[in-house]
A and B are shown apart, each in its own frame.
Chain A
Amino acid sequence: MPQPSIFPEDMRCAVLLGIDFDGASHEVGRGIAPLGQHSWGRYSARCGIPRHLEMLDRHGIHATFFVPGYDAEQHPDIVAEIARSHNEVGAHGYLHEAWELAAEEEEQLLRKTDRILQDIIGEPVRGWRSPSGRKSGGTLRVLKSLGYIYDSSDKDFDLPYRLRYGKGDDDTIIELPNNTYSLDDFPFYKFSYTPPSEVLAQWRDEFDAIYRNDRFFVLSVHPRSGWGSGTPSRTKVLSDLITYMKSHDGVHFFRAKDFAAWCVDHSDRLEEAAFL
């Protein structure tokens, strides 16, 4: 027997589209000049994000763009445009730090990126996705102190949950888990050279299974070229997938912060978990 869903009957499936900006920060943070074959990140601001914004607008839905602070400094206009079009701007590291950080440096970078993003979009940032899935035991406490209501980094569950990071009453944050092996563009375009039309078929299968089961679909893509989804063929995959999902009853597209707010309001329906 399937467990009763945490979602109301008319919310057959919650869909969260996360677009990780990943501009030149991805290379520069690793000490690589964004030239030649390393220029894929330059595609994000120039072509990928405008193309994704146009596509989302055509579908009348909104997504969450997770933006490294450094890329926001380099391209404040396009980040402002993301917010102006009612898409969400979330935080995604400063230089896309895919490496261990000392606690003090981590906190400083989280605060720095938060300030950069807030200054551009003129409103508080509500959520964070870890760059390359790197996160420490101390991350959430800093995020919470910045007023963030969710993190979308962990890979350990099929549903949103309350992630407890301390003993205090308020030491929890909404966790919106994703999966960067299956519902992510990077593995298919970088490793398996899967044709875009097969990636679409794969993601439709993923959606079908989720629609029948947990009803919570979190896709992570990147608007860069190379292994990302900014280019015409791969943006079309996203667009065709959205069309497919929309053809199902009760599919709701959420910005992550709106969905996290729903989770906060229905907190009693969520599992609580602690791993520290």
Chain B
Amino acid sequence: MNQYSWPGNRRCIGFLSVHFDAESFDLRMAAGSSLFGRYSYGRYGLRAGLPRLMGMLARRHIHATFFVPASDARRHPALVRGLVDHGHEVAARGVDLEDFARLGDKEFETLKTSRDVLADITGTMPAGFRAPGGNLSGDTLRHLGELGFLYDSSFQDADYPYRIETEQGRSIVEIPTSFALEDAPVYSARHTHERLMRIWRDEFMANYEEGVLVPLTIHLRGDIGSTRAARTAALENLLEEIQGHENIAFMTGKQLAEHTIKLGLTPEPDPLTAHLPTLKATPYRGDLSVKPI
């Protein structure tokens, strides 16, 4: 990985991505006619969260990458166009927060729809995709390549972006993120924003020291997201602190993908091929994961 270098000889690059996940998230648990009470946290993200976040990002001069489910985009096209008007990137996230590991023959169409809905609304083809829940099938990367996507950002396996060969002569950029730099797991466990910021500060300091990517991932929502006033304020403080470090800049996913392609790195082999024979002979034991007693 040593051959990776940041543009303009930057020491470190931040990548702020936002999971739009509005009604699409609540609709997994409640009917469309019941998006009230506890199922209205998605709407909070749209009504209160998004304007606050946009204001904060403008003050910090940061362009973020918004991964937007197509169904949310259809419901709120003006908001999605507003993202583009403010210089943010709009990228794909399926239609309805599907589990891409289990879509089977519907997968290609779903990816295509998610691409086309965003393209119709914004006037530009989305360059990137992030799988809901980080779940992909063995075909997802290849489909993304076929549909003209430049990058995927669903893996958590590297310090820098890299390229994956999806089929002979075709590759896609992977922009890996980090479980430690996502708000939802920590807020979902009902921890304080102070605790989350302490984690992120520790993570940032070490990533900056080593000059690796700092991929921050936040949600718009009022429950597991970062858009309540106190949480946004805490995040703004941290971003300001990050920007106070020498020679660091924020880039969008698309800018990172284009830069990675320009570096001309050799694509890595498909991540599944080597494991297919063993996976075929192995029963599902995902329920073995260790849980608190």
Contacts and interface: CB of A to CB of B under 8 A. Distances in A.
B202 A196 contact: yes
Given A32-B286, A99-B285, A196-B203, A24 B275 contact: yes
A33 B277 CA distance: 11
A259 to B, nearest CB: 27
Interface string A162-200: 000000000000000000000000100111010111100
Contacts of A28: 275, 278-279, 282
Contacts of A37: 133-135, 154, 156, 179
21 contacts: A31-B282, A33-B101, A36-B154, A37-B135, A37-B156, A39-B155, A40-B179, A42-B158, A98-B288, A99-B288, A193-B186, A193-B189, A193-B196, A226-B156, A231-B203, A232-B209, A233-B203, A233-B205, A233-B206, A233-B207, A236-B206
Contacts of A40: 156-157, 179
B55 interface: no
Given A33-B279, A193-B185, A39 B284 contact: no
A30 B157 contact: no
A196 to B, nearest CB: 4
B172 to A, nearest CB: 13
Interface string B44-62: 0000000000000000000
B206 A232 contact: yes
Given A42-B158, A198-B198, A236-B209, 7 more contacts: A33-B101, A34-B271, A37-B179, A39-B155, A39-B156, A42-B155, A193-B185
A266 to B, nearest CB: 35
Interface string A33-60: 1111111111100110000000000000
**A34, A193, A197, A227 — most chain B CB neighbours (10 Å):** A193
Contacts of A43: 156-158
Interface string B102-124: 00000000000000000000000
B154 to A, nearest CB: 4
A108 interface: no
B202 A42 contact: no
A41 B275 CA distance: 13
Contacts of A132: 288, 290
A5 interface: no
Nearest to A50: B1
Given A42-B157, A46-B1, A233-B202, A36 B195 contact: no
B191 interface: yes
A161 interface: no
B195 A193 contact: yes
A76 interface: no
Contacts of A143: none
Q: Interface residue tally of chain B, by bracket?
A: 35 or more
Contacts of A32: 284, 286
A225 interface: yes
Nearest to B160: A47
B212 interface: yes
A132 B290 CA distance: 9
Contacts of A41: 157
A213 interface: no
A124 interface: no
B282 A227 contact: no
A127 to B, nearest CB: 23
B187 to A, nearest CB: 10
B292 to A, nearest CB: 6
Given A232-B209, A232-B212, A31 B202 contact: no
Given A95-B282, A225-B178, A30 B288 contact: yes
Nearest to B268: A46
B283 A31 contact: yes
Q: What 10 pairs across the A-B complex have the smallest Cβ distances?
A: A37-B134, A42-B157, A233-B206, A232-B206, A31-B284, A39-B157, A36-B134, A30-B285, A36-B154, A195-B198
A106 B260 CA distance: 45
Interface in A220-266: 225-227, 231-236
Nearest to A191: B292
A225 B156 contact: yes
B31 interface: no
A95 B195 CA distance: 35
B264 interface: no
A74 interface: yes
B106 to A, nearest CB: 18
Interface in A61-99: 70, 74, 95, 98-99
Contacts of A35: 101, 135-138, 140, 154-155, 271-272
A276 B57 CA distance: 63
